[in-house]
A and B are shown apart, each in its own frame.
Chain A
């Protein structure tokens, strides 16, 4: 599989996501400062940084769960504005996996997966169920389809969440610390699922502290601190030869 090499400053219409001079404030707090980042199609980006550094905020801006106040974000050729139609258009093409799974507890696993395809994509129920079963098989839990989320383990729930997002056939997948809420023995099953997804060429932005995953899967690693991008590099040089003092400090704290 070929990995497309995309330069940081590329802003062509062919990019999957393009941040240009993005700023965000929470009240007086300057959460994102002058973010410039272009993600190519098929590219895998891992974002890391200390807690509170703005990495979750950054990927939540991609599907407008958070609004930015200055600059522009273009996702799959659509610029995000207050226009609800554009937001819906982007959200249909961007899947998201959350730290706390956010499965719908009143629906079965299968219903969780078919809800959006049926109501948003207007897919016939049969087709949606077939699709859901295919993807549940892919994340290796087809036998849980008729259970409720509360009956599954954390790792299983997170894999369902991945399958649910994939049912919308998204062009881009966002992962917001997908393994942080999991018991240690369940982290691997989720990371394996994500690795296999990456191998198939999905455009992914992953916020994670799993540096092994970053090294193995990422095309580029983005280090954010204090709301600004400090360093972007391929995983090899990023981990072996970090350039910035703050990156070095951060890596020395999380790698033992």
Chain B
């Protein structure tokens, strides 16, 4: 009787290969494109649409386009293609605005150093990334300002910000926004969770006020009200005003992102740090913020993407950003023609897309890396 109930395995079950169509390209296509009649029809319809629409678009941008011309005459003859010659002719203006030609090397230098720092800062595994961060958030802005604006002591002629324009202004606005809004946002987020009522109230009021009004309102306020808040002898620069506006605006949104990260962190981390004798700044700087900020990288990058789009709005208070420079370039009578505007806006769209898509791709990459490395 006991023999009938007992069982002891003497050999393992054989390991069989998986069924066909469970992996590989065919399996993927079957699962994702042709899983049902409806999905097969949708796939085929989409394919037809793409095949109909894509070739004319590519032809417009490449084979039918005018790639080089001294002025708009050739573009007016070839109206079925883009007029890239216009972009090439205006490229310097689109990059620098009215920045004096003899001083444009300064812009190039600042942009090159900035690019190096960003690559250093963002490359995983690069040595001493802390230094890169420190320089990007402290020394670099000062150096960039001195170089771009000029300094009599260093023998660099002053270039009034009214002359700045194009991609230079877009980048300056974005970098100033990023460099100032992140630390300010962190402080506001900490302030909002502070035990001190005055600090908390001030943070909440600032954040809710800024989040409650449109960005354009902030820009107009910065433009007209900032001069009222500072001594009469010091009139804030025309470009500085929207920069202050964008930094404050972005900081409020950043603060909410950071607060979200702080809330994700359990009490245990605070208690673990406190029990080791870490005081508040050490606890925040070494334990809490490194974790909270990495958890909200997607949100922070999302804010940066939005901020870069918002830089186009500084034109309404008189700054010449890239898009505004493009609009100005259209006014050149030598380059008037029906294809000019379409070309210009497609180019502008590509520019913003490349920058913003790069940012979101990077954030996705960092997310994947963190998900893989840490926590099991």
Contacts and interface: CB of A to CB of B under 8 A. Distances in A.
B272 A105 contact: no
B268 A168 contact: no
Interface stretch (B20-28, B132-140, B200-208, B282-290): B282-290
B376 A91 contact: no
A57 interface: no
Interface stretch (A5-13, A113-121, A193-201, A202-210): A113-121
B275 A63 contact: yes
Contacts of A102: 268-269, 271-272, 275
A88 B279 contact: yes
B375 A150 contact: yes
A116 B274 CA distance: 10
A95 B375 CA distance: 25
Among B272, B276, B290, max chain A CB count under 10 A is at B276
B128 to A, nearest CB: 15
A148 B272 contact: no
Contacts of A98: 268, 271-272, 275
A84 interface: yes
B374 A148 contact: yes
Interface in A179-217: none
B315 interface: no
B373 A148 contact: yes
A88 B276 CA distance: 9
A106 B290 CA distance: 8
B17 interface: no
A84 B279 contact: yes
B375 A105 contact: yes
Nearest to B281: A119
A119 B271 contact: no
Interface string A131-164: 0000000000000000010110000000000001
A105 B277 contact: no
A104 interface: yes
A161 B277 CA distance: 14
Given A119-B282, A150-B376, A95 B275 contact: yes
A100 B268 contact: yes
Contacts of A65: 271, 274-275
A120 B276 contact: yes
A182 B186 CA distance: 36
A96 interface: yes
A96 B375 contact: no
B376 A151 contact: yes
14 contacts: A63-B274, A65-B274, A91-B275, A91-B276, A92-B277, A95-B275, A95-B276, A102-B271, A102-B272, A115-B278, A120-B278, A165-B276, A168-B276, A168-B277
